[in-house]
Structure 1
Amino acid sequence: MENHIELDETSDIISSNKVEGTSVYDSEGNNLGSIYNFMVNKRSGQVEYAALRFGGFLGIGSDYYPIPWDMLTYDTDKGGYQVDISKDLLENAPRYDENSEPVFDQSYGRDLYGYYGVPYSF
C-alpha cells in the first residue's frame, strides 16, 4: 500500500518533483528558464546546486547551467525562484548539455561556486 503525503504549499518544505520545472527569474523579474533538477550531497543531504534549463526553443537545444542553491530565493508572488544573476553572466557560466553531464565532484563544485563568487563549503 502506497503512502501519500500532502504538503502544504505555504510550508518551507517542498517535494522535489514540484521544484523541477519551476521558473527562475533574474532580479528584474525576467524569466531566465526553469529548474531541470537539483543535486543533493549524498552524505550531508544538502542541496548543492540546481541545474537551470536555459536557451534553445521549446526545450530543444537547451543547455543546463548549475547554479549554487544558496543563490536561489523562492518568491511566493512569482511562484518561482529569483536569482541575482544577469543574463550575460549566465550565458558565460559553466554549463553542459544532456549528452555531456559533468562529474559532480568537489573540484567541480569549487570551480562552479568560484565562478559565481560564492564560498564552497561542502
Structure 2
Amino acid sequence: MADPADRTDMRLIAADKVEGVSVYNTAGEKLGSVGNIFIDKLSGQAEFATLAFGGMLGMGEKHYPLPWSVLTYDTGQDGFVVDLDKETLQGAPGYDNDRLYEPNYAWREEVAGYYGATA
C-alpha cells in the first residue's frame, strides 16, 4: 500500500516528508531543496524553511531561511515554488548551519525584512 504522505491530493504532509523536497523559481529552475522547517511551538505554524544552496559536496554550503509564506506547493512540479531568481537568492541572508540554531534566532528579523514578510 502506498504511503498516504506521498499522495499529492492531500493537504497535510508530515515534516519529515518535506525535507529534501525541491524548490523551484517561477521559471521552473531548481534552486535547491528544503533542508529543515522551523515551527513556532506556541502557534504550531511553520515560520521558515531552509533552502540549501551553493557550496560543493556539502562544503561551504549556506542555508537560506525562507519565510514559509513565500513558498507555494505546486503539484505539477512536485515541489515548492518561490517567486525568486537565483541572483535574488544569492543576495539573500544566508547562514552556516551553526548560526541557524543560535538561542535567540537573531536572523529571523533580517530574513523577514529581506522578503517583506513578518517574523
How many angstroms apart in 2 are the aligned matches of 1:96 and 1:106? 11
TM-score (norm 1): 0.84
Q: AA paired with 1:20?
A: E
| Cα contact 2:100–2:107 (8 A) shared by 1 | no
Q: What is the aligned partner in structure 2 of residue 117 from structure 1? A: 116
- 1:100 deviation in Å? 3.0
| Cα contact 1:75–1:81 (8 A) shared by 2 | yes
Query: Would the alpha carbon gap of residues 109 and 65 (structure 1) be closer, same or farther in structure 2, given more than 3 Å must change?
Result: same
TM-score (norm 2): 0.86
Q: What is the aligned partner in structure 1 of residue 62 from structure 2? A: 63
Q: What is the aligned partner in structure 1 of residue 5 from structure 2? A: 7
| Cα contact 2:73–2:80 (8 A) shared by 1 | yes
Query: Would the alpha carbon gap of residues 81 and 104 (structure 1) be closer, same or farther in structure 2, given more than 3 Å must change?
Result: farther
Q: How many residues align?
A: 116
Q: Please report the RMSD computed on the Cα atoms of aligned residues, expressed in angstroms.
A: 2.0
Give percent identity, aligned residues only: 42
How many angstroms apart in 2 are the aligned matches of 1:104 and 1:49? 16
Q: What is the aligned partner in structure 2 of residue 90 from structure 1? A: 89
In structure 2, runs of 5+ residues without a counterpart are none
In structure 1, runs of 5+ residues without a counterpart are none
Q: AA paired with 1:34?
A: S
Q: Which runs of structure 2 are paired with 1:13-52 in the superposition (5 Å)?
A: 13-52=12-51
How many angstroms apart in 1 are the aligned matches of 2:76 and 2:103? 32
How many angstroms apart in 2 are the aligned matches of 1:57 and 1:106? 26
- 1:62 deviation in Å? 1.5
How many angstroms apart in 2 are the aligned matches of 1:104 and 1:38? 16
- 1:117 deviation in Å? 1.6
More helix by share: 2
SS at match of 2:50: strand
